[in-house]
Structure formats: structure tokens, C-alpha cells
Amino acid sequence: MANDPGNKVEQRPNPNEKLVKVFDTEQESEAMVVRGLLESAGIDADITSIDAQQEILPGVGGTIILVREEDADEARRMIDEYRRAPDEEGADVSDEPEA
């Protein structure tokens, strides 16, 4: 059954399932990293671009990540850990300029 094409369909969130936004960013590259993080933990995620006409709403736009409603809490926890990790590393480096 590993070659069953039906398995591939179930790897992506079903459009009939309730999807919730767990992440948004103006950087598509950051969204790709977060989606990879979630998918490596077995959480299916979709990336959607939100673009607005720049003459009407300048600076509005970006990328959001949607996951199944039942995966949202775990996804948010993982994203919080991801966002905290670089800050903690940066804080350690900036706290030691006395050398």
C-alpha cells in the first residue's frame, strides 16, 4: 500500500477539514522554515500567500501557515520554541562583549 496514491492525498490537510492559522510572516523563506519544522514533527501544514494591492494597502501582505485544528496547539508550541531559540543564542553572545 506504500504506492497507493490515496496516501499522498492524505498527507496534505483536507480542504474540508477546519484549518487554523498558526503563523504569519512577511518573509516567505521564514514560512518555509517553519513549515519544514512542523512537517518534520508530523504536522501537515499549508502555506498561503496573502497579497494586497500595494496602491490601496501598502505594506500589507505576507505568508500564513495553516494546520488542522487538532494540530494547532502543538504547532504553536513548536513555533514558540523556534522563535525563542535564536533570541536565547543571540542573548548569550551579546552578554559577553567584555572579552
Residue corresponding to grid cell 494591492: 53
Choose among 48, 47, 41, 34: nearest CA to 74: 41
* Residues 26-55 pLDDT 10s: 888 999 999 999 999 999 999 988 775 555
- Tell me how many degrees the CA angle 14-8-62 measures, rounded to the nearest 5: 55
* pLDDT for residue 48: 87
pLDDT on residue 86: 59
List C-alpha distances in Å: 73 to 7, 28, 42, 90, 92: 25, 22, 14, 27, 29
**Domains with residue ranges and CATH for the chain:** 17-91 (3.30.70.1530)
Per-residue pLDDT, 22: 95
